[in-house]
């Protein structure tokens, strides 16, 4: 039977059909739905969990693999930075049960802070990497990845990109394979990577790459399609689809299903049969560089770009010189950037921080939107956890001058992910830094995943919940307090007082995400047009439910959830429940 | 058949993903190859959102670019104007006349452009403008704008039997709001001839 499936859903189906036993992931767009869909299968067959971060997830998968089960973890590209440590050595130990890591790159940065190319990790860790180009291949390559993992004794990376992960196309489903958990046998030379053992394993790894290169040349995972041979295209993943749409049978194709290690003889043969050879790959020039090392003349980044997504029109324009035409509306169209939702509990904190004019060390989550106008409250955003450790560095760098004038803001899930280590550093190496944990009881931006701080596991069942107050105390922070961020007065008082203290402190701004189904909303607030002086004070909180008109401000009742923040801004008592 | 390209555009939170799922179901029932492409994550938070739907004998790229769409279905005026350039010459624009202010308009940094509907009706496209919000409210929920528009779309895409559209709506909407959505769909079909 054939179904329309997201690429991510098809990967999850592949996990099920491949008889995988353990899945551990940390959410990250565009990879999140793989694990969400996997968690819909019977956990007694396919067990799933949200891990605190990608390093933990990858190590859980390594452990499950050593135990003999087929295992899996998924993450976004920057998540693999976090999980790189176990990956590089799991490459040496190899596997017992097959192990696959799915990594989803985000060319065009739809929902990411950088545009890194994960293929470098496969090269660096010397592990095979498969790259599907549609949902059917997502499923097929996932299953193939387990075969390769066990045959070649290596973790395998499945590389996705946003357009593959988040496009639906047809997938034919099959039954789940019965894969027994393999026997576990203690094997120190294989699993204990002391230098003496690792030196021997490195030899095995290099030999494995040679054997995998032969596989790349001969197995059929990389396919050749001859049409007109004046133009040849070497490509992989979504770029294959763009190329086919742009060029049809005006070109011949070498489609790479395996992007590490790359084939040698296959590329040489293909290059010999076409007149002009293009390499079409988004992000870095990985295939192009490989071709040049083989002494093959190709056109690559000099015609295309290292930045963003390609699409069919770019390929058509570069190779065929053809351009699409279009017409525009004769009007200035204002941009519509993403914003903090109406009723978002982060809004109150950012309003106060802007008012106080402090330096705000920011982090990764919905609350990164606190950097957008009119709040414009955030000074820095680098990576998960960097708000806390970065603030300490900032305060040390300014020799204490900014203590009392700077804070870190970090969400509950991000704090668990990698903020807590930074907090330990603040306490241990003592800076008078103030960390605000924006605890909305969910992992928000990726679409509402439970996390270790909210007391629910991936299945929605009750689970141990990290006590953030106790944790902050335990690492050596004495001044810890909880505020309701929808109470502006209380929030301002708490921030002012904690900043004034000559010691490190933690403020937990606690209120659940307004989009959670369990959160009961008040009716929409109303503005009394007779009392409203149109002073626009309420507009300073940047709520999308507020609307300027010539006479007075109005509230969009379809958006307003009655958080009451705007009424706290009004000096004329014009905004009421 | 040559590949056809439809875009569904709107504001994050308006339910464009559900609409694309309904359309995907209808196209699937007709036996076409189908690709539906959407973007999740940050852009969903009240930002401008886009879904691409392509169908035909064999679909390659899931993405639609400027000058490539046969139809744009917009949930909001400003978004219609933003994505009109994606239409081919003579393509069809179906838009809801609802206005939702983006943040730069809310803060007073920009004006919401005037006369957008009239301007789009004067372009070399087939512009169909409907008040889907009123119909959705009549059905019982402002959130049913997406299904109202699918009702209108079923009248434009006449090659696909209306029964298949109704089945797709039932298959895609949550059970507890089925009645509202069924009504929304029927009200949508009545918005144009």
Model confidence pLDDT, tens digit, residues A512-559: 999 999 999 999 999 999 999 999 999 999 999 998 888 899 998 888
What is the DSSP track for A448-477? -B--TTTTB-TTS-B-----HHHHHHHTT-
Cβ-Cβ contacts under 8 Å, A311 against chain B? 61, 63, 65
- The two beta strands, A156-161 and A223-225, are unpaired
Task: Compare all CA atoms of chain B with the CA of A242 and give the residue at the minimum distance.
Answer: B61
pTM of the model: 0.96
Asked if A439 and A455 sit in the same domain, the reply is: yes
* Rounded Cα distance, A45 and B62, in Å: 33
Residue with tokens 């010459």: B89
Q: Decide if A28 contacts A53 (C-beta within 8 A).
A: no
Residues 103-122 of B with CB under 8 A from A: 103-116, 119-120
Signed CA dihedral, A261, A265, A269, A274: sign only:
positive
Q: What residue numbers bound the domain in which A557 lies?
A: 526-576
CA nearest to A424, candidates A474, A479, A467, A480? A474
For chain B, the domain total comes to 1
CA of A337 to nearest chain B CA: how many angstroms apart? 5
Looking at residue A549, its pLDDT comes to: 82
Asked if A471 and A558 sit in the same domain, the reply is: no
Residue with tokens 């989550």: A365
Structure tokens that stand for A451 in this block: 């996390």
Asked if A92 and A110 sit in the same domain, the reply is: yes
Tell me which of A320, A337, A363 is where a domain ends: A320
Q: Domain containing B106 — which CATH number?
A: 3.40.920.10
Q: What residue numbers bound the domain in which B97 lies?
A: 4-189
Has residue A330 been placed in a domain?
no
Asked if A77 and A203 sit in the same domain, the reply is: yes
Q: Please state which of the ranges A14-28, A188-202, A314-328, B102-116 shows the lowest mean pLDDT.
A: B102-116
Has residue A531 been placed in a domain?
yes
Has residue A327 been placed in a domain?
no
Note the pLDDT tens digit of each residue in A216-243: 999 999 999 999 999 999 999 999 999 9
**In this complex, which of A168, A309, A312 lies closest to B24 when CB atoms are compared?**
A168
For chain A, the domain total comes to 4
Has residue A77 been placed in a domain?
yes
**In this complex, which of A170, A331, A341 lies closest to B119 when CB atoms are compared?**
A331
Cβ-Cβ contacts under 8 Å, A312 against chain B? 60-61, 63, 65
Phi, psi of B22 (to 5 degrees): -60, -50
Has residue A341 been placed in a domain?
no
Asked if A117 and A229 sit in the same domain, the reply is: no
Q: Which of B18, B28, B29, B37 to substitute to test the interface with A, most A CBs within 10 Å?
A: B37
Percent of chain A surpassing pLDDT 90 = 96
Asked if A372 and A447 sit in the same domain, the reply is: yes
Contact check, Cβ <8 Å, B66/A338: no
pLDDT level of residue B43 (50, 70, 90 thresholds)? low
Q: In a 3-state reduction of DSSP, which class is residue B88?
A: strand
Q: In a 3-state reduction of DSSP, which class is residue B58?
A: coil
Asked if A30 and A119 sit in the same domain, the reply is: yes
Cβ-Cβ contacts under 8 Å, B88 against chain A? 326
CA nearest to A117, candidates A58, A55, A160? A160
Q: Would you say how long chain B is, in residues?
A: 193
Looking at residue A243, its pLDDT comes to: 98
Tell me which of A196, A218, A240 is where a domain ends: A218
CA nearest to A533, candidates A562, A568, A575? A575
pLDDT at B39 > cutoff 80:
no
pLDDT at A36 > cutoff 70:
yes
CA of B130 to nearest chain A CA: how many angstroms apart? 19
Tell me which of A195, A218, A241 is where a domain ends: A218
Task: Compare all CA atoms of chain B with the CA of A539 and give the residue at the minimum distance.
Answer: B107
CA nearest to A36, candidates A52, A177, A27? A27
Ramachandran bin of A248, using left for φ above 0, alpha for ψ from -120 to 50, beta for the remaining angles = left
Burial of A15 (0-12, 13-18, 19+ CB in 10 A): buried
ipTM score for this prediction: 0.94
Cβ-Cβ contacts under 8 Å, A242 against chain B? 60-61, 63
Q: Domain containing A243 — which CATH number?
A: 3.40.50.920
Signed CA dihedral, A119, A122, A123, A129: sign only:
negative
Asked if A229 and A205 sit in the same domain, the reply is: no
pLDDT at A20 > cutoff 60:
yes
Contact check, Cβ <8 Å, A339/B103: yes
Note the pLDDT tens digit of each residue in A264-288: 999 999 999 999 999 999 999 999 9
Contact check, Cβ <8 Å, A110/B43: yes
Cβ-Cβ contacts under 8 Å, A327 against chain B? 84-85, 87, 89, 123-125
Has residue A22 been placed in a domain?
yes
Contact check, Cβ <8 Å, B113/A373: no
Cβ-Cβ contacts under 8 Å, A110 against chain B? 39, 41-43
Give the distance from CA A533 to its chain's centroid. 45
Task: For A369-403, give one letter per residue: b (16+ CB within 10 A) or e.
Answer: bbbbebbebbbbbebbbbbbbbbbebbeeeeeebb
Structure tokens that stand for B37 in this block: 């492409």
Asked if A146 and A12 sit in the same domain, the reply is: yes
Contact check, Cβ <8 Å, B85/A241: no
Has residue A519 been placed in a domain?
no
Q: Domain containing A148 — which CATH number?
A: 3.40.50.970
Asked if A497 and A534 sit in the same domain, the reply is: no
Has residue A141 been placed in a domain?
yes
Burial of A574 (0-12, 13-18, 19+ CB in 10 A): buried
Asked if A258 and A280 sit in the same domain, the reply is: yes
Asked if A202 and A250 sit in the same domain, the reply is: no
Q: Would you say how long chain A is, in residues?
A: 577
Q: In a 3-state reduction of DSSP, which class is residue A218?
A: helix
């Amino acid at each position: 039977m054939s179904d329309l499936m997201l690429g991510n859903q098809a990967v999850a189906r592949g996990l099920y059909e491949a008889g995988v036993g353990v899945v551990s992931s940390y959410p990250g767009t565009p990879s999140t739905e793989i694990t969400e869909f996997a968690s819909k299968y019977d956990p007694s067959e396919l067990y799933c969990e949200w891990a605190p971060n990608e390093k933990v997830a990858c190590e859980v998968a390594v452990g499950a693999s050593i135990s003999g089960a087929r295992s899996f973890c998924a993450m976004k590209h920057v998540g693999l930075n976090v999980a790189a440590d176990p990956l590089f050595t799991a490459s040496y130990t190899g596997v017992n049960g097959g192990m696959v890591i799915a990594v989803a790159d985000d060319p065009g940065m739809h929902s990411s802070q950088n545009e890194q190319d994960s293929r470098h990790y496969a090269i660096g860790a010397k592990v095979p990497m498969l790259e599907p180009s549609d949902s059917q291949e997502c499923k097929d390559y996932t299953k193939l990845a387990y075969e390769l993992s066990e045959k070649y004794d290596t973790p395998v990376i499945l590389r996705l990109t946003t357009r593959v992960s988040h496009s639906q196309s047809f997938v034919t489903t099959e039954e789940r394979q019965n894969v027994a958990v393999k026997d576990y046998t203690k094997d120190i030379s294989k699993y204990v990577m002391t230098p003496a053992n690792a030196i021997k394993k490195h030899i095995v790894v290099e030999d494995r790459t040679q054997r995998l290169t032969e596989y790349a040349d001969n197995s059929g995972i990389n396919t050749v399609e001859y049409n007109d041979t004046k133009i040849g295209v070497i490509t992989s993943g979504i770029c294959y689809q763009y190329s086919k749409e742009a060029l049809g049978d005006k070109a011949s194709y070498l489609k790479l299903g395996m992007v590490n290690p790359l084939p040698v003889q296959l590329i040489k043969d293909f290059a010999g049969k076409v007149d002009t050879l293009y390499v079409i790959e988004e992000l870095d020039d990985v295939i192009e560089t490989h071709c040049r090392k083989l002494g093959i003349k190709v056109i690559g980044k000099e015609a295309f770009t290292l930045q963003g997504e390609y699409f069919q029109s770019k390929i058509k324009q570069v190779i065929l010189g053809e351009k699409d035409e279009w017409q525009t509306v004769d009007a200035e169209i204002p941009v519509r950037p993403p914003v903090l939702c109406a009723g978002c509990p982060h809004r109150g904190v950012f309003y106060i921080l802007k008012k106080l004019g402090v330096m705000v060390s920011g982090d990764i989550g919905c609350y990164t939107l606190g950097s957008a106008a009119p709040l414009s409250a955030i000074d820095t955003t680098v990576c998960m956890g960097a708000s806390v450790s970065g603030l300490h560095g900032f305060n040390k760098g300014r020799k204490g001058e900014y203590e009392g004038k700077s804070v870190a803001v970090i969400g509950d899930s991000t704090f668990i992910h990698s903020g807590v280590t930074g907090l330990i550093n603040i306490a241990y190496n003592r800076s008078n830094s103030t960390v605000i944990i924006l605890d909305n009881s969910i992992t928000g931006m990726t679409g509402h995943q439970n996390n270790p701080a909210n007391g629910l596991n991936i299945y929605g069942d009750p689970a141990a919940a990290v006590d953030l107050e106790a944790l902050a105390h335990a690492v050596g922070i004495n001044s810890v307090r909880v505020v309701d961020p929808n109470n502006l007065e209380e929030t301002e008082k708490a921030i002012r007082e904690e900043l004034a203290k000559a010691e490190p402190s933690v403020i937990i701004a606690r209120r659940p995400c307004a989009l959670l189904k369990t959160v009961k909303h008040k009716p929409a607030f109303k503005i009394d047009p007779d009392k409203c002086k149109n002073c626009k004070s309420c507009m300073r909180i940047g709520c999308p439910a507020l609307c300027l008109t010539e006479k007075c401000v109005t509230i969009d009742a379809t958006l307003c959830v009655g958080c009451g923040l705007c009424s706290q801004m009004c000096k004329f008592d014009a905004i009421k429940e | 058949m040559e590949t056809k390209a439809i875009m569904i555009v709107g504001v994050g939170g308006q339910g464009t993903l559900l609409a694309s799922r309904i359309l995907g179901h209808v196209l699937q029932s007709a036996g076409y190859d189908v690709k539906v492409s959407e973007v999740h994550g940050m852009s969903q938070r009240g930002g401008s959102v886009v879904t691409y739907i392509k169908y035909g004998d064999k679909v390659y790229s899931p993405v639609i670019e400027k000058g490539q769409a046969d139809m744009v279905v917009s949930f909001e005026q400003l978004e219609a104007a933003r994505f009109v350039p994606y239409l081919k010459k003579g393509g069809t624009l179906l838009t809801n006349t609802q206005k939702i202010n983006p943040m730069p308009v809310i803060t007073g940094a920009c004006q919401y452009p005037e006369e957008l509907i009239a301007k789009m009706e004067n372009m070399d496209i087939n512009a169909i403008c409907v008040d889907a919000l009123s119909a959705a409210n009549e059905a019982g929920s402002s959130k049913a704008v997406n299904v109202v528009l699918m009702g209108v779309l079923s009248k434009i895409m006449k090659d696909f039997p209306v029964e298949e559209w109704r089945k797709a709506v039932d298959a895609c909407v949550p059970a507890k709001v089925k009645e509202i959505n069924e009504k929304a769909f029927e009200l949508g079909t009545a918005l144009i001839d």
